[in-house]
Amino acid sequence: MTGSLPVRAGVRESPARSRRLARLADRLTGRDLTERYLIGLRAWDACLRGEPLQVVLHHAGRVLEPFPAAVVYPDSQTVYAELLLARGATKGAAAELEDVDRR
């Protein structure tokens, strides 16, 4: 996300801020926690402002949907071996990869 956030500490609530938050939430995919937080703020803002229940539930439901993809963390020892290879330390990299293979 780029640009300024529509919600900041110390900024008074206003209809203009709510409109900016609504426009932003409509563009977000909800693929990371920051986006989900802003979509949740949109649901809360809609609830506080007395918007139709369907709008509140739509945004609240978007926050509760499962994440679209699994996160895969690389094996740290394999990454270290790749770094050794990149630096030309083939014997050290081979030893690390052999250790990985034994696990």
What integer pLDDT is reported at residue 2 of this predicted model?
45
Q: Is the pLDDT of residue 100 over 90?
A: no
Model confidence band, residue 16 (pLDDT cutoffs 50, 70, 90): confident
Q: What is the pLDDT of residues 48-97, one digit of tens each?
A: 889 999 999 999 999 887 766 666 677 888 888 888 888 899 999 999 99
Average pLDDT, the chain: 82
Tell me the domain boundaries of the chain.
15-64, 73-103
Dihedral of the CA atoms 47, 52, 54, 57 (nearest 10)?
Answer: 0
